[in-house]
Amino acid sequence: MTVPAARQPNVVGLTKADYGGRPSTLCKGCGHNAVANQIVQVAFELGLRPNEIVKLSGIGCSSKSPAYFLGMSHGFNALHGRMPSIATGALSANHKLRALGVSGDGDTGSIGLGQFKHLLRRNVRMVYLVENNGVYGLTKGQFSPTAEDGLKLKYAGTNPFPPVEICAEALVSGCGFVARGFAGDAKQLRELLKAALSHRGTAVIDIISPCVAFNNEDDSQKSYAYGRSNEVPLEDIGWVPPQDDIVIDDHEPGETRVIELHDGSRMALTKVEAGYDPSDRGVALTRLQQAEARGEILTGLLYFDDQRPSLSEAVGLGQTPLAEMSDERLRPSREALERVLDRY
Amino acid sequence: MTVPAARQPNVVGLTKADYGGRPSTLCKGCGHNAVANQIVQVAFELGLRPNEIVKLSGIGCSSKSPAYFLGMSHGFNALHGRMPSIATGALSANHKLRALGVSGDGDTGSIGLGQFKHLLRRNVRMVYLVENNGVYGLTKGQFSPTAEDGLKLKYAGTNPFPPVEICAEALVSGCGFVARGFAGDAKQLRELLKAALSHRGTAVIDIISPCVAFNNEDDSQKSYAYGRSNEVPLEDIGWVPPQDDIVIDDHEPGETRVIELHDGSRMALTKVEAGYDPSDRGVALTRLQQAEARGEILTGLLYFDDQRPSLSEAVGLGQTPLAEMSDERLRPSREALERVLDRY
Amino acid sequence: MADPLSTSRAATRTEGRRVSDFSIVVATANGTGSQTANLTLLRAIFQMGVPVHGKNVFPSNIQGLPTWFHIRASAEGWVARQAPEIAVAYNPATLHEDVAALPSGGVLILNDDLRGAPERDDVITYRVPVKELMEDATAKGKLKDYLANMTYLGVVTQLLGVSLDEVHAALENQFAGRRKLVDANYPIVEKAWRWSESTLQKRDPFTIEPMSATDGLILVTGNDAAGLGSVFGGASFVAWYPITPSTSLVDALKSHLVDLRTDEDGTPSWTVIQAEDELAAIGMVLGAGWAGARAVTATSGPGISLMAEFTGLGYFAEIPAVVWDVQRVGPSTGLPTRTGQGDVGFAYTLGHGDGKHPVFLPGSVEECFEFGWRAFDVAEQAQTPVFVLTDLDLGMNTWMAQRFAYPDEPMRRGKVLRGDQIPDDFGRYRDVDGDGIAPRTLPGDPNPRSAWFARGTGHDDAAVYSERPEDWQANTDRLARKFDTIRGLMPAPVVDAIEDAKIGVICMGSTQYAIHEARARLAEAGQHVSLLRLRGLPIGEAVRAFISEHERTVVVEMNRDGQLCGILRAELPDLAARIHSVAHLDGLPYAADQIEAWLAPHLVATGELVAEEVV
Amino acid sequence: MADPLSTSRAATRTEGRRVSDFSIVVATANGTGSQTANLTLLRAIFQMGVPVHGKNVFPSNIQGLPTWFHIRASAEGWVARQAPEIAVAYNPATLHEDVAALPSGGVLILNDDLRGAPERDDVITYRVPVKELMEDATAKGKLKDYLANMTYLGVVTQLLGVSLDEVHAALENQFAGRRKLVDANYPIVEKAWRWSESTLQKRDPFTIEPMSATDGLILVTGNDAAGLGSVFGGASFVAWYPITPSTSLVDALKSHLVDLRTDEDGTPSWTVIQAEDELAAIGMVLGAGWAGARAVTATSGPGISLMAEFTGLGYFAEIPAVVWDVQRVGPSTGLPTRTGQGDVGFAYTLGHGDGKHPVFLPGSVEECFEFGWRAFDVAEQAQTPVFVLTDLDLGMNTWMAQRFAYPDEPMRRGKVLRGDQIPDDFGRYRDVDGDGIAPRTLPGDPNPRSAWFARGTGHDDAAVYSERPEDWQANTDRLARKFDTIRGLMPAPVVDAIEDAKIGVICMGSTQYAIHEARARLAEAGQHVSLLRLRGLPIGEAVRAFISEHERTVVVEMNRDGQLCGILRAELPDLAARIHSVAHLDGLPYAADQIEAWLAPHLVATGELVAEEVV
Ligand SMILES: Cc1ncc(C[n+]2csc(CCOP(=O)(O)OP(=O)(O)O)c2C)c(N)n1
Ligand SMILES: Cc1ncc(C[n+]2csc(CCOP(=O)(O)OP(=O)(O)O)c2C)c(N)n1
Ligand code: SF4
Ligand code: SF4
Ligand SMILES: [Mg+2]
Ligand SMILES: [Mg+2]
């Protein structure tokens, strides 16, 4: 596919700007902004029709971001952890729509874990993005359930619990598209987004998306948690200096890259090798475990299987979405009523 | 350990009858009754002190059963799907207590999935039994999320969704004791219960516990679902004939046994082999997958690891439970207050 | 344990014959399948043209615990609960209490295989040799126990003078004509009926005589009616989580959808999803409503609690939804198989912060059907979650009803703008008509102007996030205006104002039947009481008028705290002093004599009754 | 976007000097860390003995959006919101509005690096060369921007006549004496102060002069006070889920626990768990309460909705629990960083079915502390969930307060039977004392008789499952009796009844400050209005008496629907006609002039004001 230049209209006659949204109110340098930008780019490149897309989210900094892309698409900023049920209803009412859902690690892994898992069981056709930063951004830095065991954060202290592994959760729940990306790896993210948008059911992408405000390891020299406690009053977590985006643009398949976060802490990202076969759920689970054991984070398309019907297929919906059915089709006839009453 | 005779007092001077509860109001032949009986037997054999145990449950037929054992122990029949949070609070308030929790597959796998998974992350010290029958018993036979994909039930129709695998869920949530039993295999169940009761954190036992009233495969000749539709008015799901317990008492390790349920449908139970090493989470997951692929249900102790501290250990509680602390210890002194106020 | 509905111990009227005016209780154990026999008995009486009603008093359990089925036949058409004069005792576990509960002069039909029935020489006893009657029944084993229920059906019908033909017809109807089933059951009924005819000699005054009072009527449960009404309301998306007593509503709804809303090629014009819990169920319904479908869920008390947060979102983001609450006894898990009206206060203002919701209050199975489709119209016209509060008694018991009337107006889909209808200055929450209801657009609309971002956070009238105080206040004031518009959309109360009556009673829902009967009795005694049956909230002018016209208004409701009374007092402060509360909840439907007793003090207060007369 | 609190455009009083009586607003962007400078300014004024109060108006966002900090100095001690006469404009994004909002005669302290400030020749402007002042600051990069806030601190203090020593002391206090921090900041303050002294020439009338009005007082937020009070109430188990504006309550609670409740060997006498959501948080708290711990959770609106089902269980199973609701603006997600009182109606009857809960209504930081420990006593004495409703304004803003009084009575643990105290006929729900409160036992008790099975389902007085109507009614009637006992346990209202005043105002919580100021102004104009500040629900006799003594009662509350007013009308029907509602919610704390305006029509109605006077 040839990628149109931003100012040129794409196949559906829209420019990149047409896929933009309102100005972001997220922190400068927040990974979530980078993701939003890639969504705009991908939608533009694929020539998606904004009216065929709905944007969904829960509550959190991440969940705010749908306001910052696809301004010509309808959207629903739901409740904390409850995007999945809204998505299930909306996609049932109109299964012609494509849903692009943005959630956070707290929104999905904590309050929303149950709905997330049941959404996957039903295989609702949508792209489900988890912008994963290991913290609660909007409520100022508490641990999210995806924070590593033993992680020390200035605000939150030490985390004594094992992390919720979004990809593993998706795998055991029978999800047919499980991937992980990194907000700073635009190329990979775009590829994953494009593949996800064409998936038959629920496509989950767990996106490592660093929080520049609160994901600050206590003992890291460069963290401004450190800075705060030594030069800046600790109480003043009100101070959040703008940061630059973390970007890696040459991460090769099979390669492990160590990236440095704003606080100076490091994170090892391993991209699945070129020949990786994503068709075996068991292998995917094992690879995740191995990476975890090595303290690495595995990225790429980890599992793919589109055999399972989506929800609307499973319930046998036809061409016309429920939401577009005529009143005649929705309300049976007088005679039909009489027939039923005759049985009573 | 020598097993005392029922009428003889055990090490703590109690007879088996002392561990009994109120008469069961569950259906005759319900697997849940068999489980309750084994709990009584095990508590008696181990010589547990009733006052050191609390019985917890959610809502459902299964969750009723704590009323039918250990009548001298305190208990809390909580809300549907919410036993885990009650357990977390209760065991935090008094970490000297041992908790025996009974839930159902709907209670745990559906409404309670989120709380279940977060309980496991925190590793609250308790035995967590899921009496798994694939249906909602108390609400008369709807599918539970553990029902197999494609299962046809007279009342509920055909299930289009993949099952929630309780053991796999426990494994990915970092649970250190994951086992599966069968209500009809008393010997194995007692062994698992005894091991679970001495575990450091949360011990999960997924117990296959057939529902004689509603787990009736549509097309099985012997099912009374079949009977109903042909001889008995279907509307009358009010008819639930008493059944005998299904019992297998000679199931050897490594062996696969096909059992016949009351409706004539069959179920293949495979017991992990004698030499099985339960110390590898990855292996446990793989074995579960393999069994599933063969249409078998793996039973036995699938995974064991007691390295992780329990919640009360993680938060560093001392000898005295919070609930037993003196008012003096709970309310700081006048001077302490003045000291704080001086800072304001 | 004793049958809670058989409470009266007063001697029953036996002089002369008691034609088509008495109550029967059938005592069996849960899971024995006696429902078929009971419903057949009910229907046989109905077929004879005699007004009849059945109440099932069952435990929250599947097998073995006692259950009682009550049938009241009333030539005058009363259907409220009444202590039975005839008891069918087939449950060993409650034998003693069931016999003891009979009034002297009552009738006992006893399974003779049961031992230890207490002697009651003031009661007429007929002993049924069940084993014997079952001897040559073809069926074997467990099925035999099940069929044994047919023996009392045969005996009771014979004793009451119901012909075998009637019983056979009723059985056929009950089995929807499925031969095999009829053939398996009927022989036993017949044998018992003939045995009774030949052996028993009638010593009691109770009989059924043919009438034509049920001509053109149907027998149906409220939940079935509600499900059917929803289908005729165009329900296309249903998400729910099982809970007694709402489960049978969704079961009925689904089977009617399968029956009436499936195309020739088998394509459904609907989707029903069993959600993982009630939070998800209401979330799915709101998602579907936002996307343009007519979406409904049904639940009971605990589910309403779990729907609180999402209801607030639906209210604030202005999304249509219909929520049925088949009320059981609360608080908490309470009594899942008993009836009550305890959710009205909670549902009306469900959710934190400000907000009120339209509440339909059906009082009959006809209204369960009617509100089944009307609720969608109000939900879409007002773009808000709408509650329909029924109860277990209305929902799960079998009632006589007029054949349901086909919707008398087209579906009202509310203000939805499509394509070119969408103005350049479209703002999702702009009150262009001044009625507080702004036009909405739906996802999928090709017009780029159509897009808006639904949210539970503060927004301006273009749905853009805003923390500006004036935006918040303008928006919530508009929502208050909208609620006034909604007043006009709710069904008017049913008023029976008696010329210069001093007392007016206000009620809602299924309690009306006991109240009608009590009012008739009072009227005979010369005490006239007006009645206003509320059919929806918010209230309209009619309620104010009614209360103003009476010296004293008594709000009768089936909860402990007098919730509806509190709502009326709060909304009509100038009249509050005249508004009194009669609130009782023990899980049982009201009986007329309870109402009489509760109204007595008020009649005394208004001087219509002298204290002495109050027993 | 404009600062919502700077609404008045009336010219400000400039004749003569304005000594210690004016408001300042500091406009910056969120995330720039201006809080330190603002709190230091606040404290410096406080140290000079001048009554002062600060309100932070911030967005629901982490970085970049506008935020305004208001400081009101008032020699008379008024702390209600008042439109500022002095504006510090450091935020380019709101520069225009911030300047425009100033009253004529007002003062503008402008970051001179910002371009495009509108000309206001009716405003006194001082330009601060921030870059220049920061030039030789040691810190580099981003930290420099952060420290830049210190420049306005220096200039403002100098202009107001606050000595450098005071500022330094305030800074030390703010940094809890941490040298490094003081040394990093103070030089910049000093430089700016001296620059101001040497270059600016004072042209405005606003000054601070030393007083002794704050002697012995402290400066603290309501959430901090609540956390501290809870610790002195013996809180030992805390489960919560983060949500603004309750998060800082739990943060404070936890840090006080670490500080005051950790043994020498480091063993905590407490556990704090961050739950996965609010359903789990309240569940954990109930589990801990059942097992005998003093357990508490804190949340805000959405969390209250999610706690509905569990609250009903706590009410029905009778388990002590304390729930703090730091109210923000609802319904739904609403305005997370704005203040309101919209949960009172919902929390009071939270849960489906019948049921009412004790609600504490703290109106000051002192009461946040006091109710912090008292709530546990009531929860354990009444064995029920207790709510404490505060709000964002009280909870997150900084208030002057008396030093908190140490609890004047020992911990009341309620009726708990242990070991041999447990009678042979122990029944968990047996009302032995007739006050509706039955003694409980705790898990772990060695006495075998101690065991009982807690449940949300119907039960007899021995906690055994029961569906019997009489058991249900007896139990729920007892719960109603218990609620009457609770009336006696709640704090009495604070009443200021004015001799033959025709109007009585009833309020709750933090709105009292604006009301006090308004009443003082009215009193000057000869219009006397009584005040009753409710401190808890259910109400007691004092409320009835107060309303009876006044021709007209006006219930002032910060929500749209007049929720408290509705409760009072419903519970006092005979007085309801006299109870009027003043309900306003836009997210901002009330100002005295708003109260005056809202009361005016009522003063007219009672003839104390002639219509013409009302503007
Ligand atoms: C029911 C409910 N509880 C709590 C909150 C407060 N809250 C808002 S966002 C959030 C956490 C967001 O974390 P995450 O999903 O990781 O998003 P992030 O901000 O990190 O992108 C919480 C707890 C809420 N809005 N609703
Ligand atoms: C909030 C809530 N929703 C629904 C119900 C109704 N309900 C009671 S038990 C049950 C399902 C029980 O299924 P399971 O946990 O598998 O237990 P089983 O009866 O099969 O042993 C449901 C849905 C309830 N009690 N509470
Ligand atoms: S707080 Fe963290 S997650 Fe939120 S916007 Fe800022 S950087 Fe992003
Ligand atoms: S319905 Fe099923 S689960 Fe419930 S008691 Fe009967 S057999 Fe057991
Ligand atoms: Mg996050
Ligand atoms: Mg089950």
Mean pLDDT of chain A: 90
Residue A211: name the closest of A175, A160, A246, A235 by CA: A246
Mean pLDDT of chain B: 90
What's the pLDDT band for B267 if we cut at 50, 70, 90? confident
pLDDT over 60 (residue D14): no
Higher pLDDT among residues D480 and C136, named by residue: D480
Q: What is the DSSP letter of C318?
A: T
By the CB < 8 Å criterion, does A285 face chain B? yes
Those of residues 173-232 in B touching chain D at CB distance below 8 A are: none
Residue C1: name the closest of C47, C50, C67, C90 by CA: C67
Give DSSP secondary structure letters for C356-380.
Answer: ---EE---SHHHHHHHHHHHHHHHH
* C571 Cβ contact list (under 8 Å, min separation 6): C538, C539, D566
3-state class of D478 per DSSP?
Answer: helix
Amino acid identity, position D252: A
**pLDDT by residue (tens digit) across B46-94?**
999 999 999 999 999 999 999 999 999 999 999 999 999 999 999 999 9
pLDDT over 80 (residue D469): yes
Phi/psi at D98 (5° precision): -60, -40
pLDDT over 80 (residue C164): yes
pLDDT over 60 (residue B222): no
pLDDT over 80 (residue A30): yes
Q: Find which of D62, D149, D258, D333 to mutate to test the A interface (most A CBs within 10 Å of its CB).
A: D62
Q: Which helix (H) or strand (E) holds C335?
A: strand C335-339
Those of residues 157-176 in A touching chain B at CB distance below 8 A are: 160-162, 164-165, 168-169, 172-174
Mean predicted confidence (pLDDT) in A44-64: 97
Mean predicted confidence (pLDDT) in D73-97: 96
- Say if residues C576 and D569 touch (Cβ distance below 8 Å): yes
Task: Check A96 against C286: CB less than 8 A apart.
Answer: no
> Is ligand 4 within 6 A of the CB of residue B141?
no
Say what the pLDDT of residue B226 is: 37
Residue D293 CA to residue D549 CA, distance in Å, equals: 44
Ligand 3 centroid–CA B292 distance in Å is 42
Q: Where are the beta strands (DSSP E) in D92-222?
A: 107-111, 124-128, 206-207, 217-221
Mean predicted confidence (pLDDT) in A266-288: 91
What's the pLDDT band for D379 if we cut at 50, 70, 90? very high
Mean predicted confidence (pLDDT) in A3-13: 86
The C-alpha angle D112, D118, D122, rounded to 5 degrees, equals 100
D285: nearest CA in chain B?
B89
Nearest to D31 among A111, A231, A239 (CB): A239
B-D Cβ pairs (cutoff 8 Å, strict): 213
* C135 Cβ contact list (under 8 Å, min separation 6): none
Interface of chain C toward chain B, CB-CB under 8 angstroms: 30-36, 59-65, 139, 142-143, 145-146, 174-175, 178, 180-181, 184, 241-244, 247, 274, 276-277, 302, 332-333
- Find residue C324's DSSP bridge partners: C298, C388
Task: Check A89 against C295: CB less than 8 A apart.
Answer: yes
pLDDT over 90 (residue B299): yes
> Is ligand 1 within 6 A of the CB of residue A197?
no
Say what the pLDDT of residue A284 is: 95
- Chain D residues in contact with B87 (beta carbon < 8 A): 287
Say what the pLDDT of residue B78 is: 98
Radius of gyration of chain C (CA): 27
**pLDDT by residue (tens digit) across A156-205?**
778 889 999 999 999 999 999 999 999 999 999 999 999 999 999 999 99
Task: Check A118 against B165: CB less than 8 A apart.
Answer: no
**pLDDT by residue (tens digit) across C360-389?**
999 999 999 999 999 999 999 999 999 999
Mean predicted confidence (pLDDT) in C525-533: 96
Residue D204: name the closest of D156, D133, D150 by CA: D156
Those of residues 205-244 in A touching chain B at CB distance below 8 A are: none
Nearest to B114 among D263, D276, D404 (CB): D276
Q: Find which of A122, A146, A173 to mutate to test the B interface (most B CBs within 10 Å of its CB).
A: A173
Say what the pLDDT of residue C7 is: 52
Cα torsion through D234, D237, D239, D244, rounded to 10: 20
> Is ligand 1 within 6 A of the CB of residue A57?
no
Residue B85 CA to residue B111 CA, distance in Å, equals: 13
What's the pLDDT band for B155 if we cut at 50, 70, 90? low
Distance from CA of C305 to the nearest CA of D (A): 5
B-C Cβ pairs (cutoff 8 Å, strict): 93
Bond from prior residue into D331 cis (ω within 30 degrees of 0)? yes
User: b/e string for C569-599 if b means 16 or more Cβ within 10 A?
Assistant: bbbbbebbebbbbbbbbbbbbbbbbbbbebb
Nearest to C574 among D59, D458, D577 (CB): D577
pLDDT over 80 (residue B197): yes
Mean predicted confidence (pLDDT) in D64-69: 93
**pLDDT by residue (tens digit) across D298-333?**
999 999 999 999 999 999 999 999 999 999 999 999
- Chain B residues in contact with A289 (beta carbon < 8 A): 281-282
pLDDT over 50 (residue A221): no
Residue C493 CA to residue C542 CA, distance in Å, equals: 7
Residue B326 CA to residue B323 CA, distance in Å, equals: 9
ipTM over 0.85: yes
Mean pLDDT of chain D: 95
Say what the pLDDT of residue B54 is: 98
Residue D459 CA to residue D457 CA, distance in Å, equals: 6
Say what the pLDDT of residue B249 is: 80
> Is ligand 3 within 6 A of the CB of residue A211?
yes
pLDDT over 60 (residue A222): no
> Is ligand 4 within 6 A of the CB of residue B262?
no
Amino acid identity, position D454: A
Residue D25 CA to residue D56 CA, distance in Å, equals: 10
Say what the pLDDT of residue A247 is: 84
